[in-house]
Amino acid sequence: MAREQGFRLRFAHGSLLTALTRKIIALRLLLIGDIVGKPGRKILTRAVRGLKIEEKLDLVVANGENAAAGSGITPTIYHELLAAGIDCVTLGDHAYRRREVFSILETEKKIVRPANYPQDAPGRTFTIVRGRNQVSVAVFALLGRVFMSPVDCPLRAADRVLASLPSDVRVILLDYHAEATSDKQLMGRYLDGRVSAVMGTHTHVQTADEQVLPGGTAYISDVGMTGPFYSILGRRIDRVLETTKTFRPTHFEVATKDPRICGAIVDVDPESGKATSIRRISIDQSQADRLADVSGT
Ligand SMILES: [Fe+2]
Ligand SMILES: [Fe+2]
């Protein structure tokens, strides 16, 4: 509503009110959940420009930890995602799976590794990117510790990141890459009122608990997966089944059928940094094809 009001004011009174309208137009952010392999990349790169136009998105952040054949990310894929319209890439527990990634983790500004890795681990603990309307947005990622490999305390790591952000940065997005919903809820409550959004990734299953918490932080336990849905979390069903039944190791190849894009869109007041709404999205191939037509890609 505030968005539309802003646009109307601008049209009614011209450029003199540009500064005023900028203040009241909500910033619209999208977090895309774990991109799994080629099927995930293909549907996302096909649809993201159309999605940006149709949803009037200011900034699109995507978790790319599974983008390279289901595990890790390469410099080529990072650049492919940026060229397609992704504004920032977050990583998770598979951040370092591809050795090639080390060449971009320090030099590229639009990719972050989990902030609760050890201090000397390669990569940025946060980055500041600008959306279409030039508002600064801080993006960072953290790993959970329940049913996951040991890492530094994510709560204290969140405090460290927030303490190191420039004071004029009010819009802050956390990709909380964790397994347990309890872990994720705790982070949401811990950061409520201190960040604009705590959005979960890693489980590859979208949850229906999106809400704006009392302090103004948008929250969802998991935004879901961007990849083949006829699968087990993006991998071939027959391979996972075989290993489960026989204990014989097989290669969990990335599946191919029914690719979808999953994520969540958050509207944020750029002045206060508080979220005003959060909405889940799930886009199948036919919707992605329609979105490709919107952008002419
Ligand atoms: Fe993942
Ligand atoms: Fe993960």
At residue 133, what are phi and psi to the nearest 5 degrees? -100, 15
| Residue entry with tokens 């409550």 | 189
Question: Is 94 labeled as catalytic in the residue annotation?
Answer: yes
Which pLDDT belongs to residue 243? 97
Cα(167) to centroid of ligand 1, in Å? 32
From the CA of 33, which ligand is nearest? 1
Ligand with the closest atom to the CA of 68: 1
pLDDT at 22: 47
Give the span between the Cα atoms of 118 and 35, in whole angstroms: 25
> How much is the pLDDT for 222?
99
Q: Give 202 Cα–ligand 2 centroid separation in angstroms.
A: 4
Q: Residues within 5 Å of ion ligand 1 by Cβ?
A: 34, 66
Measure 236 CA to ligand 1 centroid, in angstroms: 15
- Inter-axis angle of helices 154-164 and 181-191, to 10 degrees? 30
Among residues 5, 29, 63, which one has the least CA distance to residue 196?
A: 29
Tens digits of pLDDT across the chain (297 residues): 445 444 444 444 445 455 455 446 899 999 999 999 999 999 999 999 999 999 999 999 999 999 999 999 999 999 999 999 999 999 999 999 999 999 999 999 999 999 999 999 999 999 999 976 789 999 999 999 999 999 999 999 999 999 999 999 999 999 999 999 999 999 999 999 999 999 999 999 999 999 999 999 999 999 999 999 999 999 999 999 999 999 999 999 999 999 999 999 999 999 999 999 999 999 999 999 999 999 887
* Residue 222: both structure tokens together: 């998991």
Which residue's structure tokens are 């510790």? 145
Q: Which pLDDT value is given to residue 20?
A: 53
How far does residue 8's CA lie from ligand 1's centre (Å)?
41
Distance 8 CA to ligand 2 centre (A): 42
From the candidates 13, 79, 94, 204, give the one annotated as an active-site residue: 94
Q: What is the pLDDT of residue 11?
A: 42
Ligand 1 centroid distance, CA of 129 (Å): 23
Distance (angstroms) between ligand 2 centre and the Cα of 5 equals: 39
Ligand 1 midpoint to CA 62 (Å): 11
Global pTM reads 0.92
Amino acid at 41: R
> If DSSP codes are grouped into helix, strand and coil, which group holds residue 274?
coil
d(CA 2, CA 27): 10
The confidence score (pLDDT) of residue 14 equals 47
Show the CA angle centred on residue 115, arms to residues 111 and 120, nearest 5°: 95
What is the predicted pLDDT for the residue at 133?
Answer: 72
Do 226 and 35 meet the contact criterion of CB atoms below 8 Å apart? Answer: yes
Task: Supply the pLDDT for residue 132.
Answer: 66
Name the closest ligand to CA 34: 1
